[in-house]
Amino acid sequence: MAQKIFDDIQHHLNDIFQYMDVPEDVRSRLSVPKLALSVSIPVRMDDGRLEIFKGYRVQYDDTIGPYKGGIRFHPGVNMDEVTALSFWMTIKTAVVGLPYGGAKGGVKVNAKALSRMELERLSRGYIRHIADVIGPSRDIPAPDLYTNATVMGWMADEYAQIQRRQVPDVITGKPVRLHGSQGRESATGRGALYTLLQWAERRGMKPSATTVAVQGFGNAGYHFARLAREAGFKIVAVSDSSGAIHTRKGIDPDRIMYFKRQRSSMHEMMYADGAICDLDDPSCVTLSNAELLELDVDVLALAALENQITIENAPRVRAKHIIELANGPVTSEADTLLFERGIPVLPDVLCNAGGVTVSYFEWVQNRSGYYWSAEEIYDRLKQMMEPQANQVFAMAEHREIPLRTAAYVHALHRIAGAISERGTREYFNGKERV
Ligand code: NAD
């Protein structure tokens, strides 16, 4: 398994470079991360044992600005995965034009099995181990799988204790009352909606005549579904790990969230009092997670996990458009097949960049000590994402390439331009005019 995901990335990168004219130096620079740190974090457990956790921080590229990327706590974390994720962050920050590079971190741990005090000790221990390589102008972590605002608050506090001063801009995704930003929670879903609205406009799709199925009803999926409904789209199906609900009459995501907070499964909430389905709606049914992916809808929004549309189920996908809020929900083989079938896939590196964009706003606010209203955040997010999305769409149309390839080319042009500004072989051997 070692190097598997990152090997795939390197192959993919070579494919993308076929569409670009970039100096050899740029290819060399982007073929490896700048720093890959592996640490062992001792944590005193509640029962007195000392447990050692494996942690990582990979800094891929910082040509455009300080490294930026989340920290995940998950049993599957390893150096290969973290390296791959740090590369994707490099692309994502460049797609939307943020003044950042890309990084990622993680700890190999089942966070759900830890007590709150063990989780706090691990979070603080991780920061002590990577403190020398992070900083507000160097590398700014953020939350990812199984890390949240509380964890970010502990980590920022630990860093402040090490530095003996307040350093809120060292980490983003903090609680609002601990120098966090308004609008961070809904940022990923909101950014995805802004992207979809631009796409819909280009394609002449009217939201009121557009049906949407949403896989995954966590942070990204819920806010996307809620905001998409507000924008006029018709949400006809949603799923979480307990199953899926589908009704042609349309679903109110807030009602689903109400029942989810009471720990109801999708199946249970169908029949609960005042629940999702009207009694006189025969189209209201529960489905399996796999069935939701194959519904005949206008838009399929993937907001759960990676590898959901594969070469196995891609031939059965009936959605007319796919939007990726999760990271990597469509495998590269499936991506090729969907392109051949004429089903556009709006890629993760563009569509879920709303999260890192509002993280950038949080960092800017921390650095200036002046805080913006939620409305200002939404407005600025829109202004950042819409033009970038349109440039990616225009390139894909013009060059007749998949949207993902266009997003990568768009990002790599920016990174390559910045690398070249520092001089390439052609510059130093005098073959390029200054
Ligand atoms: P989350 O843990 O809040 O939600 C995940 C949801 O997926 C849950 O509702 C879970 O029940 C559901 N799920 C799990 N397995 C499923 C299955 N087989 N079928 C249907 N649903 C299933 O996570 P999140 O923060 O919403 O992140 C979701 C994805 O979006 C991840 O890939 C994450 O990396 C990506 N993402 C999130 C953000 C963010 O700001 N939250 C930013 C960028 C990318």
Q: What does the radius of gyration of the chain's CA atoms come to, in whole angstroms? A: 22
CA distance 297 to 97: 32
CA distance 219 to 36: 29
For 47-205, where are the alpha helices, taking DSSP H only?
Answer: 79-95, 116-130, 149-163, 187-203
Phi then psi for 48, rounded to 5 degrees?
100, -15
What is the token pair recorded at 367? 């650095």
In this structure, the number of other CB atoms found within 10 A of the CB of residue 273 comes to 4
* Cβ of residue 188 lying under 6 Å from some atom of ligand 1: yes
CA distance 272 to 44: 44
Bridge partners of residue 286, in order along the sequence: 245
pLDDT value for 272 = 67
* Cβ of residue 53 lying under 6 Å from some atom of ligand 1: no
Question: How far, in Å, is the centroid of ligand 1 from the Cα of 335?
Answer: 20
Check: pTM over 0.85? Answer yes or no. yes
pLDDT value for 151 = 98
Digit-by-digit pLDDT tens for the chain (434 residues) are 445 888 888 888 888 888 888 888 888 889 999 999 999 999 999 999 999 999 999 999 999 999 999 999 999 999 999 999 999 999 999 999 999 999 999 999 999 999 999 999 999 999 999 999 999 999 999 999 899 999 999 999 999 999 999 999 999 999 999 999 999 999 999 999 999 999 999 999 999 999 999 999 999 999 999 999 999 999 999 999 999 999 999 999 999 999 888 877 888 887 766 677 777 788 889 999 999 999 999 999 999 988 999 999 999 999 999 999 999 999 989 999 999 999 999 999 999 999 999 999 999 999 999 999 999 999 999 999 999 999 999 999 999 999 999 999 999 999 998 888 887 777 788 776 54
CA distance 173 to 71: 11
In this structure, the number of other CB atoms found within 10 A of the CB of residue 312 comes to 10
Ligand 1 atom nearest 325 alpha carbon: 30
Choosing from 104, 145, 219, 327 the residue with most ligand 1 atoms within 8 A of its CB, the one to mutate for a pocket test is: 219
CA distance 332 to 347: 11
Nearest to residue 106, comparing CAs of 66, 53, 149? 53
Return the amino acid letter for 234. K
Coil, strand, or helix at residue 280?
Answer: coil
Active-site pick, 68, 92, 104, 260: 104
What single string gives the DSSP state of each residue in 329-371?
-B-HHHHHHHHHTT--EE-HHHHTTHHHHHHHHHHHHHHHT--
Cβ-Cβ contacts under 8 Å for 218 (sequence gap 6 or more): 240, 303, 304
388, 350 contact by CB (below 8 A)? yes
Coil, strand, or helix at residue 174?
Answer: coil
CA distance 4 to 231: 40
pLDDT value for 119 = 98
Question: How far, in Å, is the centroid of ligand 1 from the Cα of 306?
Answer: 9
pLDDT value for 411 = 96
* Cβ of residue 243 lying under 6 Å from some atom of ligand 1: no
Choosing from 92, 241, 292, 309 the residue with most ligand 1 atoms within 8 A of its CB, the one to mutate for a pocket test is: 241
Ligand 1 atom nearest 305 alpha carbon: 32
CA distance 246 to 230: 19
Return the amino acid letter for 257. M
Return the amino acid letter for 189. G
* Cβ of residue 221 lying under 6 Å from some atom of ligand 1: yes
3-state secondary structure 188-244: HHHHHHHHHHHHHHHHCCCHHHCEEEEECCCHHHHHHHHHHHHCCCEEEEEEECCEE
104 part of the active site: yes
